[in-house]
Amino acid sequence: MSKKRALVVDDSSLARMMVRKIFSTRFTEWELLEAKDGEEALAVAGGEIHLALLDFNMPGMNGIELAEKLMVQYPGIALYLVTANIQERMQQKADALGIGFIKKPIAEHKLVEIMG
Range of the domain at 75: 4-115
pLDDT for 89 equals 84
Give pTM, 2 decimals.
0.93
Strands (E) across 1-116 are located at 4-9, 30-35, 51-54, 78-83, 100-103
Q: For residue 34, give Cα distances in angstroms to 13, 44, 51.
A: 10, 8, 12
Beta-carbon-side half-sphere exposure of residue 106 (alpha carbons within 13 Å): 29
Beta-carbon-side half-sphere exposure of residue 58 (alpha carbons within 13 Å): 29
Q: Are 20 and 53 in contact (CB under 8 A)?
A: no
| Per-block mean pLDDT, blocks of 10 residues, the chain (116 long) | 88 95 94 97 91 94 95 94 83 90 89 86
Count of domains forming the chain: 1
